[in-house]
């Protein structure tokens, strides 16, 4: 009987206590992956599977992408300009304009690289696939995923990033660096 008298208050206290909330992820942490997602470079760079392509989490304002670019990468206006030019060129099927927005060597699927514009033009249909066109056409700039590696379009089909043009990195050039 005495054991029950000691256990009841302890159990009541345990039932009423609140567990500590989980720690907030770092601001620049990549989104969590589903347990079933394959551990490949493409999967690691993709958004969480629960998030539709091109969508931002419901509690994140659309302007957050611009703020994250400013914080992590630099001039958001330069990224937006390249994003819009690339999107217009891809959706319009303007091969020459697509090439203008690409930095070579260009990373493509399966770890391969395209070394120059001529090789890109010859392999255009293999690089700019219907899946890439769909991802680019559906992406809104205000909802792109941003981390230290750059700006991601879709679920990792396209990545943009800047390159310093001077030693102090006061001038940068933003281009498409990956299409997969």
Helix ranges (DSSP H) in 39-155: 41-45, 64-72, 76-92, 95-100, 117-122, 124-127, 130-138
Confidence of residue 55 (pLDDT cuts 50, 70, 90): very low
Residue-wise pLDDT for 102-112, tens only, equals: 999 999 999 99
- The mean predicted confidence, pLDDT, of the chain is 79
Provide the CB-side half-sphere exposure for 152 (13 A, CA).
Answer: 23
Q: Which two tokens stand for residue 33?
A: 């992956």
User: Taking the alpha carbons of 126, 129, 135, 138 in that order, is the dihedral positive or negative?
Assistant: positive
Three-state SS string over 96-109 comes to: HHHHHCEEEEEECH
pLDDT of residue 54: 41
pTM of the model: 0.66
Kindly indicate the confidence band of residue 144, based on its pLDDT and cuts at 50, 70 and 90: very high
Q: What percent of the chain has pLDDT over 90?
A: 61
- For residue 4, what pLDDT band results from cuts at 50, 70 and 90? low
């Amino acid at each position: 009987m005495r054991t029950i008298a000691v256990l009841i208050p302890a159990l009541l206290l345990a039932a009423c206590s609140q567990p500590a909330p989980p720690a907030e992820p770092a601001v620049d942490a990549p989104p969590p992956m589903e347990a079933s997602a394959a551990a490949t470079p493409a999967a690691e760079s993709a958004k969480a599977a629960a998030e539709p392509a091109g969508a931002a989490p419901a509690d994140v304002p659309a302007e957050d992408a611009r703020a994250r670019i400013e914080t992590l990468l630099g001039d958001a206006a330069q990224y937006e300009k390249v994003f819009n030019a690339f999107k217009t060129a891809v959706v319009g099927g303007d091969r020459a304009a697509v090439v203008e927005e690409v930095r070579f060597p260009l990373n493509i699927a399966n770890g391969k690289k395209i070394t120059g514009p001529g090789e890109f033009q010859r392999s255009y249909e293999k690089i700019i696939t219907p899946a890439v066109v769909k991802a680019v056409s559906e992406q809104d700039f205000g909802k792109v995923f941003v981390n230290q590696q750059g700006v991601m379009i879709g679920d990792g089909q396209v990545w943009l990033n800047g390159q310093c043009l001077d030693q102090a990195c006061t001038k940068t050039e933003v281009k498409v660096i990956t299409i997969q």
